[in-house]
Every structure is written in structure tokens, then in C-alpha cells.
Amino acid sequence: MRQRFTARAVVIGDRAGTVVPDAVVDVTDGGITWVGPAVDAPPPGDAEVVALPGVLTPGLVNAHSHAAMVLFRGQGEGLPLDRWLREVMWPRESRLTPEDVEVAMTAASAEMLAGGITTSVEMYFQPERIAAAVGTTGARAVIATPLLPLPGMPPMAEQLDAAVALARSAPADGLVEYGLGPHAAYTVPLPLLADAAQAAREHGLLLHLHVAETATEGADLLAASGLSVPALLASYDVLGGRVLAAHCVHMDDGDLELWREYDVAVAHCPASNAKLASGVAPLRPMLDRGIRVGLGTDGPASNDSLDLFADLRLAAGMARLRERSATALTAAEAFWLATGGAADALGRPDLGQLAAGRRADLVHVDTRDLVFEPVGDPADVLAHLVWSGAGRHVRDVWVGGRAVVRDRSVTSVDTAALRAEVAARAARLAAG
């Protein structure tokens, strides 16, 4: 199937913030074959022409999420991370059924698609149910099977073996990729973390874990080992390969140098870190060292939104406040963190940009709204997307050239029915 998309402007999703006014994107069999100004476009031939009045952007890439936690949205409000986990989240999660997870993930995936997120990195229980949910909605997911020593779960070594077997069995169609998700150095035995890292390197899998999210976490590990969290991970040979570390809030210069040396990527989650008062990650120093960074929402119980547009605006604002500089993160860089930068952080060069050879994951942002005026220069398009745009401005979404959101409605599911089912299941889990 051949398609030609025309738009008021195309945002490429690169670090430079390239915007092409009056542009064309050609797609064949779900892949992008040409991008550029309409005046230079090749003849459309027999392509279906899709004329869009707004701006076309890459599908957003959510670099860290526990999206099925829509079941717990808003619960434990006002608690710090350790109490939030132990007093509210983990007791409720112990009562989850596989059906709970699939229903919740289906609803969350639909919510993300409606906000322009076409790919998310998920770390949550029942990974095969997570995959089934995105199969229903038509989204993409990189699913890091969680490894965590909780009551009722198999021994850690068995969890790891099962996670590796699942990852190796996945079809190579780019829609669902499985990785390994050992929770963190303060919850998972360090020898098991080392085994997981070795397995990830051996099979080319993404290793995704939480690192230095809170000051308390780092202080406890430092007191016990004499090492910071990153240094401790390095000492156990956890680093190297496709490692994606979520949060990385409490990092000093030495830690950042370790990240640069081992090419560890970061999933930056400013909204969750702000809500839980975890701190402000050193984003500018990471980028200046060449560390790969992608933007993540974290779970909808700790954000509580799955609107990545809101998070990229917060990322830019918090970076500027931290550095006390209005140039600490440009609008172009902020948008790149949610598109091309996030794809790089995942090790997925097929995603994140509107460029020939990449998958046709496209988002049409309806710019017929006062918040997108005036545009005196192409760069203004990015400035408006970052500082005044929102998920509600997304009108249409395609994944691999397939329409999954049309005129603001998700095409594959009944969102009203899902909302009611999530509410009922959440009430049961809260009741105990």
C-alpha cells in the first residue's frame, strides 16, 4: 500500500529541530520512503493522498512507563516514593489478576495513542498480557519483563530464565519487543542483576531498571557498599550493552562519567520526579556529555498523566530552572527527547523521526487553534508544540501507516466501556 501525506509542516524529530513547511511524507507498506517540501516531491503515482490541515510529527516515544497502573491513578497522593510503594502500590498490586492488567493496559494504550504516543517502554507484571493489549490497540511497545522478589512470585533465577525465553520467542515485526526489567539495585539482589545484564548482552536485549531515583535509595546503598548506585552497578558488571536507566536523579559528575563511558541511556521522568519530590535530574549535564536521553511519563499512578506533551514542557522548564538559564534546553531539544532522542535511548533506529527508512508512525497535530499562532518562522512551530501544545491537540495517528486514531477517536476499542471497566476493577483492588 502506498500513501502520500501532505501537511502545513512536517517536524522531523531530530535534535536540530528541523521543520519543513508545506511538506510531503510518502509511505509504502508501513515504511517512510520520502520526506521533503511538496515542490520537490516525486510524482504520487497511485498513492492514496491524505491531506492534513495541521502539522505532521513523528509518533512520540515514551521511554519509561508502567501504563497498566491506570488502575491506581491518583492513589497514595502526597506520599514519598518509599511509602507510596509499600503502603499503597504493592499491596494492591498483589491482588492483580492477568485480566486486570490486560484491561488496564488496553485503556492506557488507547489513552497514549490519543495523545500521540505510538511506542512505550513498559515495565509491568504479565508482559504477555501487556503485549496482547497493544496488539488490540495497534500501538508499539518495548516490554521489559519485571524481575522483582515479591511474595507469590517465582524465585529470581526462574523469573530471569522465563523472561529471556519470552524475549527470544517474540516475532521480529517491530510491534512488540521484550527486554529484561530488574526493578532496581535496592530491591533486586546484585548478583541477579549481574546475571540479567549478562543475559541481556548475550541476546541483544534491552535491560531496563530504575537508578538513583531518590536520595534515600542512594544513601542507603552508599552506606552499605561505599559506592554510589552507578558505581555499584559498574562493580557488578551490570553496565554495557543496551542499558536504559530510568530517572537518574541523584547523580554526581563521577556517576555521569560512568554513564558516558558505558553508553548507558536515561529515561528522564520529570513529572513523576516532581510529584514524588524525588528531585530534578541533571539533564543538561547528561546531554553535554553525549548521554542518550529519552523522555518518559513513568506510570499514571505517579505522574498522573500519560500526556507526553505536558512532560516535554515540564522537562524544558525544569532544566532551565535547574541551570538558571533560558537556553538550558531548547524547544527543539525538548521535542527531540520525546521523538528521535527517545528512539536512540531505546536503541530503536527505526522509530522517532520522519525520515526515509523509518517506520511510518505519524501524528497529525491540529494547529487550527489560537495556541499555534503566530508562525513567523518554521522554528515557531516547535516552540508552540512545546510550550502551548497538548495531547488534546492530536487529531489523527498512524502506526506503520495504519490509522489507529481518526478525528480524535481511537479506532480499535470502545474507550467509554474501557473506562467503566477500569473503574470497577480499581475499586475491587482498593477494597482489599
Percent of the chain with pLDDT over 70: 100
Do 127 and 178 contact (CB within 8 A), yes or no? yes
> Taking residues 97-115, what's their average pLDDT?
98
For residues 410 and 403, give the distance between their C-alpha atoms in angstroms, rounded to a whole number.
9
> What is residue 398's predicted lDDT score, i.e. its pLDDT?
98
Instruction: Name the band, by pLDDT with cuts 50, 70 and 90, for residue 81.
Output: confident
Question: 322 is written with which cell numbers?
Answer: 535547574
Whether the per-residue pLDDT at 432 is higher than 80: the answer is: no
Strands 362-365 and 55-58: antiparallel
Whether the per-residue pLDDT at 267 is higher than 90: the answer is: yes
CA atoms within 13 A on the CB side of 107: 23
pLDDT averaged over every residue in the chain:
96
Specify the higher pLDDT residue, 172 or 411.
411
The string of pLDDT tens digits covering residues 153-179 is: 899 999 999 999 999 998 889 999 999
> What is residue 195's predicted lDDT score, i.e. its pLDDT?
98
Instruction: Name the band, by pLDDT with cuts 50, 70 and 90, for residue 219.
Output: confident
The string of pLDDT tens digits covering residues 31-54 is: 999 999 999 999 999 999 999 999
Nearest of 281, 289, 204, 279 to residue 241 by alpha carbon: 204
- Tell how far CA 241 is from the center of its chain: 19
pTM: 0.97
The string of pLDDT tens digits covering residues 48-78 is: 999 999 999 999 999 999 999 999 999 988 8
Whether the per-residue pLDDT at 410 is higher than 90: the answer is: yes
In DSSP notation, 158-209 reads HHHHHHHHHHHHS-SSSSEEEEEEE-BTTTS-HHHHHHHHHHHHHHT-EEEE
Task: State phi, psi for 69 to the nearest 5 degrees.
Answer: -75, 10
Amino acid at site 194? A
> What is residue 405's predicted lDDT score, i.e. its pLDDT?
98
Do 347 and 374 contact (CB within 8 A), yes or no? no
The helix/strand/coil state of 378 is helix
Instruction: Give the position of cell 512545546.
Output: 386
Do 208 and 179 contact (CB within 8 A), yes or no? yes
Nearest of 262, 187, 195 to residue 217 by alpha carbon: 187
Residue range 60-346 forms a domain whose CATH class is alpha beta
CA atoms within 13 A on the CB side of 113: 33
Amino acid at site 103? V
> What is residue 152's predicted lDDT score, i.e. its pLDDT?
85
What residues does each domain of the chain span? Answer: 2-57+359-410, 60-346
Question: 195 is written with which cell numbers?
Answer: 546475571
Q: Which CATH superfamily includes the segment(s) 2-57+359-410?
A: Urease, subunit C, domain 1 (2.30.40.10)
Instruction: Name the band, by pLDDT with cuts 50, 70 and 90, for residue 292.
Output: very high
Question: 259 is written with which cell numbers?
Answer: 554513564
> What is residue 382's predicted lDDT score, i.e. its pLDDT?
97
Nearest of 54, 24, 18, 49 to residue 39 by alpha carbon: 24
Question: 111 is written with which cell numbers?
Answer: 489513552
For residues 86 and 41, give the distance between their C-alpha atoms in angstroms, rounded to a whole number.
57
Specify the higher pLDDT residue, 19 or 83.
19
What does the angle CA 406 – CA 47 – CA 172 come to, to the nearest 5 degrees?
70
Do 248 and 294 contact (CB within 8 A), yes or no? no
The string of pLDDT tens digits covering residues 305-329 is: 999 999 999 999 999 999 999 999 9
